[in-house]
Chains A and B, each alone.
Chain A
Amino acid sequence: MNKQITRLALAAALAAAGQAQAQGAASSVNLFGVVDLGVVSLDGNGKTRSFVSSGQQMGSRLGVRGTEVIAPGWEARFILEHQFYADTGLQNQQTPVSGTNLPDWVFAGVPLTIKAALAPTLGATLNASLENRFWHRQAWVGLVTPVGGFLAGRQYSPAFQIYGRFDPHLAGNVGNPLVLFAAPTGLDVRVDNSLQWVVEKGGLRATAMVAPGEGAIGSGDFMGLSAAYAVGGLDVGVGYNERENSDGAKALRNTIVGASYAAGPFKVTGMWMKVKDDNSILGPQLRASIGASAPAPLRASFLAAGAQIARSVGWDGELIYGGVHYMIGARNKIVASYAQYDDASNARDMAIAGLALEHILSKRTSIWLSGSKVDNKSGSQVLPFGQGLFYGITDKPGRDSSAASVNIVHRF
């Protein structure tokens, strides 16, 4: 059972090293992937919507992974991993049920006149952010040396590696609070242009990552660190991400601590994560966009509104998230989870409960039944999501939402 979980964790959150030994050969290139398809029923945006959908549990993907042993203790490795939506075969997800609407709290304090002008732009921006690159999930190459691996490319951030490691739902499932951090971004999952050092020794795994902003308007330099240690049934980890915006001000920062303990048929796992962003990358982007297009008499008002929106989409909160796995025999696993997010802005507060059953048909194939319930407090508009699939937002602030899904997950 633990092996099963570890395997999933590797797929979901990517432990970079550790698989080469299993592959045995001096050099290898493997095709791998997941096809995850099911039916989801979603409540919270006007009416119950049911649709065939890809990725409620793990996210469909197709990847190529390679290893080359260069000398004792020296290896070259790469992963190229494509994300796709198995229901349509498309590289990009379906349109969110809420279209390009953004939560009301995004525009708190913004005059309707300006909101009317900015909302379409921000909505289009949201839409554009849902468009995936071909190698959306990962694209990196690196050298493993006696002093650790040095990897470069598009990689999972250190804090997200800890999130995935201690996530009861392995970064997927409609019961996952990860959706809260989807739009606007509250946790950098993947980092472009990143250089990472990874060391694995005994039960220890540590990473350090840097990624320069490369001059784009919005995102600036990124750095992150993580460390995790597993011994017996116990596993603990910490992670930290920090991103600057292109003004050089500290933007999104995540501090995460996770732990899990497995004993017999049980596993308990959970995390605490601090999310802080006082200088959203959206600030410089809005400023640049408005500065170029607003009519002169209104420019100051538009810029003030842009700054207000940038403040609103910042973060200042804490996530507490935990769950239990329980094996019933060798073929059925129950996952129960609960997460609560408290922000300095009450309009962002929410909680989500999830319950899932994995029926293991074979080593590679499972059937999942999942359900979740989101308690959106005063102003939150969170809808459940699927892996790599943003379903949208609720139709009203504070409207609770829920989802149920049945899906088949086949790994290869």
Chain B
Amino acid sequence: MKIRLALGALALAALAACGGGGGTDPAPVQAPPTLDTTRLVVFGDSLSDGGAYALGNSLILQTQAGVPQAAADLVGKFTNSPGAIWPEVLAGRLGISVTPERYEVGAASPVAATNRVNSGASATNYAQGGARVAKVPGVGCSPNAAGACTAQAAVPVSVQVDRALAKGSFSNTDLVVVWAGANDVFFQATAAGEEITRTSIQLGRPMSSAETTALISSKYGPEMVQAGLDTLAQVRRLQAAGARRVVVMTIPNAALSPFGAAGGASTQGLLTALAGAYNDTVKREFGTPETGVLLFDAGSLAASWYQNPAAVGFVNVQAPVCDVPAALGSSSSFCFITPAPAGSAQNPFQRVLPAGVTPENSLFADAVHPSLRAHSLFGGALHDTLRARGWVR
């Protein structure tokens, strides 16, 4: 009874359809070896970036925008700085601290001289804005002809993990979080948009929605499935290196953001399809409870806030708190907020919000990144879940 392949088409429809297919019961899930946490190790993108570009961005603000150093040194995180983003909120709840593993703008950036490794004991946040799961270029890298990033380093999570593994293995008291894929969505959405435009020009008419759907499901959706598989591979590497508590997250759907809203229905459809392909893959791979991995559905949580903001005290889900000039990429990584009146010289990047709207009741810091208030809620929600699952104290 030789296994001989019937060389038919692979049942790739099954990709979209179902999960496992094994038909056997999963292995029993075991509790982590300890609830004590001495290090929070974070791999990811701007949603988790603790300030990898802080030194570079500060220098840019000082030299290009004339911002005084004291104010410029407040920036670097992708939110309405200064304040704690979710890894810092979670670390605080766990009684520890977490800081960027290094300061690193692109090697070809004019402020690359600021790059340095952070030698502190709590320097375990490897996340970098713009990072994709395993591929380059990252978003915001702006590669030169040689491929070197002229802006954000946006080192992918796979390389972030390389860096962590080069420093040694993990211990039972490490809590590890992997959260990436959102920039793969932006990268693929951009590529898909360009292809749709190109094809429409060739056709002499707009592509039909059936045509764009087919294009996305045959080409750009599989790219996101691959990004999900890349995340799986990184989690397995971390586990092989001794990580016993790894949190994996789904990604927020960027259609549910000021950026998505500005893009209109077709852009939102594209973003939804791409994020869905990634999230479905991650849910399929990690949906069966397994020892040592916890899937946190950040995408659903973010969607619930966007769709029902009042439930968590938001009144504004459209106007970003920050209004950073396009010359600075409109990115909240340059944003700082001071007590001075919004829009004044001492508080140049705070948007003038309508009456009753404050940074504290706004969901977004820029077109896609969460506000400090959202970070606070998110870190708290994650901690609550971890504690409820018996993963942390």
Name A residues whose Cβ lies closer than 8 Å to a Cβ of B. 101, 104, 107, 111-122, 124-126, 128-130, 182-185, 188, 217-219, 281-282, 285-286, 288-290, 292-298, 301-302, 313, 390, 395-397
Contact = CB atoms under 8 A, between A and B. Distances in A.
Interface of B: 1-12, 14-15, 17-25, 218-219, 222-223, 225-226, 228-229, 232, 281, 284-285, 288
Contact of B22 (A107, A124, A184): A107
Nearest to B10: A293
Given A104-B24, A111-B232, A128-B4, 11 more contacts: A111-B285, A116-B15, A120-B11, A121-B5, A121-B8, A125-B6, A217-B7, A286-B5, A288-B7, A292-B7, A298-B226
B228 A113 contact: yes
B337 to A, nearest CB: 41
A129 to B, nearest CB: 5
B21 to A, nearest CB: 5
A155 to B, nearest CB: 15
Given A115-B22, A297-B226, A395-B24, A124 B284 contact: no
Contacts of A286: 5
Given A129-B4, A395-B23, A301 B12 contact: no
A156 B3 CA distance: 18
The dominant DSSP class at the A interface is helix
A285 B8 CA distance: 11
Contact of A101 (B3, B23, B223): B23
A122 B22 CA distance: 13
B18 A116 contact: yes
Given A111-B285, A289-B10, A295 B222 contact: yes
Contacts, number: 124
A293 B5 contact: no
A122 B21 contact: no
A298 B225 contact: yes
Contact of B222 (A119, A129, A298): A298
B235 to A, nearest CB: 11
Given A111-B285, A129-B1, A296-B222, A117 B12 contact: yes
Contacts of A217: 5, 7
10 contacts: A101-B23, A111-B229, A117-B11, A125-B4, A183-B1, A218-B5, A219-B2, A281-B2, A292-B9, A295-B222
A301 to B, nearest CB: 5
Nearest to A388: B1
Contacts of A296: 219, 222
A116 B20 contact: yes
Nearest to A301: B229
B6 A116 contact: no
A356 B223 CA distance: 57
A390 B219 contact: no
Given A101-B23, A104-B22, A117-B15, A126 B225 contact: no
B5 A113 contact: no
B10 A117 contact: yes
Contact of B12 (A124, A188, A282, A293): A293
Nearest to A284: B5
B10 A290 contact: yes
A285 B4 contact: yes
Contacts of A114: 229
Q: Which among B9, B18, B226, B281 has the greatest number of chain A C-beta atoms within 10 A?
A: B226
A289 B5 contact: yes
B23 A124 contact: no
Across chains A and B, which 10 residue pairs bring their CB atoms closest together, nearest first? Answer: A285-B5, A297-B222, A295-B222, A293-B10, A297-B223, A120-B11, A116-B14, A116-B21, A185-B2, A182-B1
Given A293-B12, A294-B10, A295-B222, A113 B3 contact: no
A121 B222 contact: no
A390 B228 CA distance: 37
A390 B10 contact: no
A390 B14 CA distance: 27
A170 to B, nearest CB: 19
A281 B20 CA distance: 26
Contacts of B10: 117-118, 121, 289-290, 293-294, 302
A252 to B, nearest CB: 10
A128 B232 CA distance: 33
A377 B100 CA distance: 47
A126 B198 CA distance: 45
Nearest to B2: A185
B12 A294 contact: yes
Contacts of B225: 113, 297-298
B201 to A, nearest CB: 23
A219 B288 CA distance: 37
A41 to B, nearest CB: 22
Contacts of B9: 292-293
Contact of A129 (B3, B14, B19, B20): B3
Contacts of A390: 1
A116 B2 CA distance: 22
Nearest to A280: B3
B267 to A, nearest CB: 21
Contacts of B14: 116-117, 120
A125 B225 CA distance: 26
Q: Which among B3, B4, B11 has the greatest number of chain A C-beta atoms within 10 A?
A: B3
Contacts of B5: 121-122, 125, 217-218, 282, 285-286, 288-289
Contacts of A188: 2
Contacts of A104: 22, 24
B3 A313 contact: yes
Contacts of B4: 125, 128-129, 218, 285
A122 B4 CA distance: 8
B6 A115 contact: no
